[in-house]
Chains A and B, each alone.
Chain A
Amino acid sequence: MRSLALFLISLLLALPLILAQQDESAVEEETTPPPPRGSVMRALQLPEISIVGNLQTLFSSNKEDEGRNMVKLEEIELALQSYIYPTIRGDVILAFHEHTEPTGEKHTHAEVEEGYVSFLNLGKGFSLKAGRMRVGFGKENPIHPHHRLYVDNPSVLTTLFSEHGLIGDGATLSYLFPTKLYTHLDLATWQVVTPEEGEGMPGLEKTFNTARLWVSSPLRDGELEMGISVGRGAGDEPVKIWALDGTFKRWPGAFGRDLLRMEIFSANHSGLKVSGWYLLGAHKFTKYWEGALRIDDSELISGGRERAISLVASNYLTETSILRFQYQYSDSPNGADNRLWVQVIFGMGPHAHPLE
């Protein structure tokens, strides 16, 4: 399946050139609307290229924390995005991470974090995504890390999946119900890429099939979203995971935004049961500053549980450049810890996210 992602990338990179040749004779008239961003019909016939960098410094009382007390380039995300046909999109996200071994040795590794093609309309309300992507399981997992409201991931996600969440090679068939209420169903099958063997919930390292029902409705001056996700592994004793998520957002005043989100997960494999939840609240104080509070409570696979409370302040320099501070107090079987992150996210170039 790794080769699938590579194949899709080469296809994506080649298609603009193929289409460009077909398009050469077309002369743009003044009455033709300019194509949207991420369209290969644009003058250079190149996909939209963007880079999002994520710099972090972690001050921690826990001596086992990787990259403690130093500036660390957590991740560089390189995104190539393009329409490859009016109703087909391609998205490739390459990620460069740096890991520091306990010995102090540094390793940088590049990986295809996502590489998928979206068939936006198969007719009758259906659409299809195929390739490698952040699995649409629960609310936060599919969201790009740089688009989240905090620095570290909720402990239930890192416990059940991995530091990078749940990523798989596979395909998602989606259906938008023809109802007044936004109702969206995903059915998907995956070969799990992360967590890798030995990480996350046992039984996840192979085939994992998922479904997610997502409903959303305007509520007063905001929007209420609810989701239910179920996942089942392969084999005689498959891993089973379910998740419930709920989000309420409202946009008071000219630039305000309030958000309240909760996700609950429960996993089960051969008698091993792990569950956890987190609660996230955020409030925009001014146009440029946002505060957030997150409470984590998750059982650990190794036994015991981890509880944490985080306070986050984010300064939006622009929409894609953010300065963020996060303080966290956590309590786990290894003891209590205090952590303070300073994060700088910097974006360059046009970067698009699907509806999330």
Chain B
Amino acid sequence: MKNLGKILVLLLILSPLWAKIKVVCTIPTLSSIASEIGGDKVEVITLASGEKDPHYVEPRPSLVVHLRDADLLVKVGMDLDMWVDALVDASRNTKIFWGSPGYVDCSVGIKKLEVPKGRVSMKEGEIHVYGNPHYWLNPQNGEIIAKNILAGLLRVSPASDHAYFQARADRFISRLRDKMKQWRAKLSPYKGTKFVSYHRSFSYFAQFFDLDYFGTLEPKPGIPPSTAHIAELIRDMKREGVRLILLETYYPRKFADMVAKETDAKVVVVPTAVGATKEAHDYFSLFDTLTSLISNALKG
């Protein structure tokens, strides 16, 4: 019995060494990258489903339980996943409060696009008040996200794990760089192609692939399409010969079809984040799917 006691004490002392680090990510895109870096030493939990609009996620009490037990919170930041703030407050877990080692805002170090200058009002739309938060759609930003997550993991893990995470992060980044060449090659024939989308989701995507972001069905981020705006968009698209509409999976199809009918444009429903479709199950397959869908559509 005495020995059993000793073994139990030993187990208790050693348990942190094999207890997995609990990483809670707001959206599956971040979970995918966190899993690549964390490997077997982390348990990754995702709060929102990739099928939903990531701007509007209804906080639900059961998510608080995951945050209460989290060692690391990984969020997109800016105003995209602000819905997690009330859940973090309710979790009482100061390890993941802003400024704590367990708080990872992946937007740190991202060159942000469309940051409003001067006074910000609802006239500029309901969301994107800190700039466009859909930065993961430029795969180069995947590197920055990975580095932010790695830094967070290094802050909350024992030193003995650091080499493991560092090696996995290096491997992820080099694989990503290889894939970037492939993806770019796949869309290079279509450089400068003008396209519209429902919401301003593709600014970073267009930046990487040299596409011409012509406009959106929403008049402003978060503001529903209006007849006047749609009419103007149709007129401009006709004049400029815009033939591609990228429709995010979580927006209604009606308006896109309406515009397509008038302009002879093609509507392509595309995943804008991991988990939005079955094919886009991780960060790599997200771009595989996106580039295939777009190149197939433009092949004509």
A residues sitting closer than 8 Å to B (CB atoms) are 30-39, 86-87, 89, 118, 120-121, 125-127, 176, 178-182, 184, 214, 216-218, 223, 225, 249, 251, 253-255, 257, 286-288, 317-320, 348, 352-355
Contacts and interface: CB of A to CB of B under 8 A. Distances in A.
Given A37-B79, A216-B60, A288-B224, 5 more contacts: A36-B98, A86-B98, A179-B65, A254-B51, A354-B89
A180 B64 contact: no
B62 A223 contact: yes
Contact of B122 (A180, A225, A255, A318): A318
A348 B68 contact: no
Contacts of B56: 255, 319
Contacts of B68: 176, 178
Contacts of B262: none
Contacts of A253: 51
B85 A36 contact: yes
A180 B68 CA distance: 10
Q: Does more than half of chain B's interface fall in helix, strand or loop, or is it mixed?
A: loop
A87 B65 contact: no
Q: Does more than half of chain A's interface fall in helix, strand or loop, or is it mixed?
A: loop
B58 A317 contact: no
B224 A317 contact: yes
Interface string B222-264: 1110000000000000000000000001111000000000000
Contact of B52 (A33, A34, A216, A254): A254
B86 interface: yes
Given A33-B103, A37-B82, A87-B97, A355 B59 contact: yes
Interface in B99-141: 99-100, 103-105, 107-109, 122, 126, 130
Q: Give the one of A32, A33, A34, A353 with max B CB within 10 A.
A: A33
Nearest to B53: A255
A120 B96 CA distance: 13
B64 A176 contact: yes
A134 to B, nearest CB: 16
Contacts of B79: 37
B223 A318 contact: yes
B65 A180 contact: yes
Nearest to A120: B89
Nearest to A184: B61
Given A180-B65, A182-B64, A33 B77 contact: yes
B46 interface: no
B98 A39 contact: yes
Nearest to A29: B108
Contacts of B103: 33
The 5 closest A-B pairs by CB, nearest first: A33-B105, A216-B61, A254-B250, A318-B126, A182-B61
Contacts of A286: 252
A352 B53 contact: no
B188 to A, nearest CB: 32
A318 B53 contact: no
Nearest to B103: A33
Contact of A319 (B52, B91, B126, B250): B126
Contacts of B61: 182, 184, 214, 216, 223, 225, 355
Contacts of A87: 94, 97
Contacts of B59: 355
Contacts of B92: 120-121, 125-127, 176
A261 B92 CA distance: 27
Nearest to A33: B105
B223 A32 contact: no
B196 interface: no
13 contacts: A33-B105, A34-B105, A86-B99, A120-B97, A181-B65, A216-B62, A255-B52, A287-B252, A319-B126, A320-B126, A348-B122, A355-B64, A355-B89
B7 interface: no
A34 B58 contact: no
Given A254-B52, A355-B87, A34 B62 contact: no
Interface string B42-54: 0000000001110
Contacts of A32: 108
Interface in B196-218: none
A183 B78 CA distance: 31
Given A35-B98, A36-B85, A176-B92, A182 B62 contact: yes
A294 B122 CA distance: 32
Given A254-B53, A353-B86, A355-B59, A182 B108 contact: no
Contacts of A355: 59, 61, 64, 86-87, 89-90
Contacts of B93: 121
Nearest to B122: A348
Contacts of A120: 89, 92, 97
